[in-house]
Amino acid sequence: MRRPESLNSYSVEVSPSAWKQLAHLPLESYQRIRQALDGIAAQLRSPTPVPLPKKEAEPLVSRSLSLEGHLVLYEVDTVRRRLTLREIVRTRP
């Protein structure tokens, strides 16, 4: 059973392909990306409990952020209250 404070929280997950990409980054870059995603997940919390959505509706929203020469692609699942890191792409300097 989930604790009451976790009912409004978004979890942060990493896809298998993103884990492979993270393995090639310096530790500091990984930590900054993780902190950014944790911050985004914290902002997604709703102040009051949201009614359970209908089973048919599973909206996924793809988003990105630019951080330290990398484009971080992630997905927000509002039904499962999950933010998933999908891919990290190195941008040109």
Q: Are 51 and 40 in contact (CB under 8 A)?
A: no
Q: Are 10 and 41 in contact (CB under 8 A)?
A: yes
What one-character-per-residue DSSP string does 27-65 give?
A: HHHHHHHHHHHHHHHHHT--SSPPPPPPTT---EEEEEE
pLDDT on residue 2? 45
**pLDDT for residue 14 is more than 80:** yes
pLDDT on residue 4? 46
**pLDDT for residue 24 is more than 70:** yes
The percent of residues above 90 in pLDDT, for the chain, comes to 57
